[in-house]
Structure 1
Amino acid sequence: MKKSISTLAFLIFIAGTLMISCKSSTKEETESQEKVQDARENVQDAKDSLVVAKKAATAEEWKAFKNETDSVINDNKARIAELKLKMKKTDESIDAKYQKNIDILEQKNKDLKVKMDTYKNDANSDWQSFKREFNHDMDEIGQAFKDLTVDNKK
């Protein structure tokens, strides 16, 4: 009888241990799933915050870029007006090519102004590409101004 009681006690102990361990495993699994879900929500919140922060930084950068380029465009406009004034002051006949180059510069400057005014700074636009292309166009106009004043005739 002692043997059967100790065997029965041992079996009850084993069964109890298995039941307790199964329950805690399910509980741990549920807790793990909750932690994973919380982590996913935190990641999504972080992504949303990054998008907002990136947008704000881009808006500040856009404003600074726009102010800078507007200043350069206005300087170009003044230089073009100055060149036209010089042409009127001189009584000599100006090359038609020189006049054409000034007109081309004026048109390019106007095109840049229109391009700047029509650009929409939103999430769908490619800011870096626009900025690179616009700076390239600005550099071309700057070089054209330099080339206009250089006399290559010998």
Structure 2
Amino acid sequence: MRILTIISLFLVIALTSCTTPSEKVEDAENKVKNADKELEKAKEAYLEDVKKSKAEALDRLVKHQQEVIAFKEKIAVEKQEIKDKYTQKITELEEKNQKIKERLENYQTDDENQWKNFKKELNHDIEEIGKAIKNLTVTSAQ
């Protein structure tokens, strides 16, 4: 009798602690749904970063173009010698600015790691153009 009670107790514990296959499937489905939600949130955040960064970069490129136009207007009243000195540099800066703008507009948002590298290079290139424009305007003022 004692053995029968122990076996019965053991069976009750064993059966209540086991999950059924349908419970396991349901648990797995919930985990997949949660993972899908997290993936979707991450994708949305990534796409928002791309959109925001592109807009900021385009704004900076437009600002650079405006600075170049203002500089052209400034040297338009100068002697031909001074105009000639800066014309080639201005043209190079405008071309670089345009190439960066085209790279940005043509970039396809495929992979987050590629985007991070692209964004880093893009920001570096934009900063370099900004420095070159600043140096150009400072040099002309002297």
TM-score by length of 2: 0.76
In the alignment, which residue of structure 1 is the partner of 2:81? 93
- Identity rate, percent: 28
Task: Write the mapping of 1:61-140 to structure 2, written as runs, cut at 5 A.
Answer: 61-94=49-82, 96=84, 98-123=86-111, 126-140=114-128
What letter matches 1:21 in structure 2?
F
* More moved, 103-112 vs 61-70: 61-70
What letter matches 1:93 in structure 2?
E
Long gaps (5+) in structure 1: 1-9
1:43 matches 2:31: yes
C-alpha contact (below 8 Å) 1:121/1:127 kept by paired residues: yes
What letter matches 2:29 in structure 1?
E
1:57 matches 2:42: no
Q: Secondary structure at the match of 2:109?
A: coil
Q: Distance in 1 between matches of 2:139 and 2:74?
A: 16
1:14 matches 2:3: yes
1:30 matches 2:19: yes
In the alignment, which residue of structure 2 is the partner of 1:4? none
Relative to structure 1, the CA distance from residue 43 to residue 123 in structure 2 (aligned partners, 3 Å threshold; closer, same or farther) is: farther
Aligned-pair RMSD on alpha carbons? 3.0
What letter matches 1:128 in structure 2?
K
Long gaps (5+) in structure 2: none
Q: Distance in 2 between matches of 1:17 and 1:24?
A: 11
Relative to structure 1, the CA distance from residue 45 to residue 97 in structure 2 (aligned partners, 3 Å threshold; closer, same or farther) is: farther
Displacement, 1:17?
A: 4.1
Q: Determine which structure has greater relative contact order: mean sequence separation of CA pairs < 8 Å that are 6+ residues apart, divided by chain length.
A: 2
Alignment deviations for residues 98-151 of structure 1 (CA, whole Å, 9 cap, x no partner): 322212211110011011101112346622222222111111111111111233
C-alpha contact (below 8 Å) 1:55/1:123 kept by paired residues: no
C-alpha contact (below 8 Å) 2:68/2:90 kept by paired residues: yes
Q: Secondary structure at the match of 2:80?
A: coil
The structure whose Rg is larger is 1
C-alpha contact (below 8 Å) 2:58/2:101 kept by paired residues: yes
C-alpha contact (below 8 Å) 2:93/2:129 kept by paired residues: yes
Q: Distance in 2 between matches of 1:96 and 1:51?
A: 56
